[in-house]
Each structure stands twice: as C-alpha cells, then as structure tokens.
Amino acid sequence: MTTENPDVATDATASDATPAQAAPRPRIEPRALLQRLQAESPAFRDCKPLALKIDASILERFPDLDRKSLRSALRLHTASTRYLKAVERSTERFDLDGNPAGEVTEEQRAHASTTLKERFAAVAKQQREKREAEEAERRRAEKLQQLVTRFGR
C-alpha cells in the first residue's frame, strides 16, 4: 500500500517540470507529418522499406514530433500499396538517410505480397459488384420503360 508524502509539493512549477511535461506536443495531422518526412528523408521520399524501429530514429531526429501522430503517419505509409510493393521487391531495409539498415526477410516479403493480393482482390470484387448493380439498375429502368410504353396512354 502506498501513501502520498504530505511533505512533497504536488504543484510543480514550470521550471521544475521537464519539457515533455511542461507543454504537451501539438498533434500534427498524420498526412502532414508524412509529407514532412517525405520532404526530409530519402527513405520516405523514395518509398524504400524502412529499418525496423525507425520510429526511435525519427523521434531522435525530430524531437518536436508527437509519438501518436508519428505512429499514425507510419501506419499510413507502411500500409500504402506503393510501400508494400517496395517491400515485396526489396531485400534491404533503409534508415532515414537512405542507407542500408537491415534486410527484408522472405516472410516479410511474403506478407507484403499476400496483403497486396488480398487488397487487389477486394478492389476487383467491389468493382465487379458495382458493375453488376449498375447493370441490374439499367435492366430495371429498361423494363419500367417497356411497361410505361405498353400500358401508358
């Protein structure tokens, strides 16, 4: 059982607080953050497979970033079709400066390939369903027009 020490002040002054506690970092829109990373990093700009644990490197280089925004931006980037295609084709991973920093395993390439196939299959299914719905609507409209022509005055 823990108790609070009454001798310890609970009101911290701004000078006593660490910079992270003094003011929360402003949230940056993930897409805007991703554009910033693309502008400042060859690995993002060229959509190369990223080194594992690159989030630590990014936060070290850009200490003003909010961790939550960074995670969202990284999720957007690594889930993109362009990035998955790069992982599928590559054998190397890259750091922020575009230097090799590890390898892409066969398992990671297979996962990227499977994800892309599933994504393309889902898109093809949606397109097929849309075409079928449009065709069904066209047939209904045609049938209705035939009925109007036949029974209308």
pLDDT along the chain (153 residues), means of 10: 42 45 67 89 90 90 87 91 92 90 92 93 94 95 91 76
Question: Which DSSP letter does residue 11 get?
Answer: -
Element (H, E) at 57: helix 54-61
Specify the pLDDT at position 103. 92
Q: Which CATH superfamily does the domain covering 25-104 fall into? A: ProQ/FinO domain (1.10.1710.10)
Specify the pLDDT at position 111. 93
- Sign of the Cα torsion 66, 68, 70, 76 reads negative
Radius of gyration of the chain (CA): 27
Specify the pLDDT at position 65. 85
Specify the pLDDT at position 30. 85
In this structure, what is the dihedral angle of CA atoms 75, 79, 85, 90, given to the nearest 10 degrees? 30
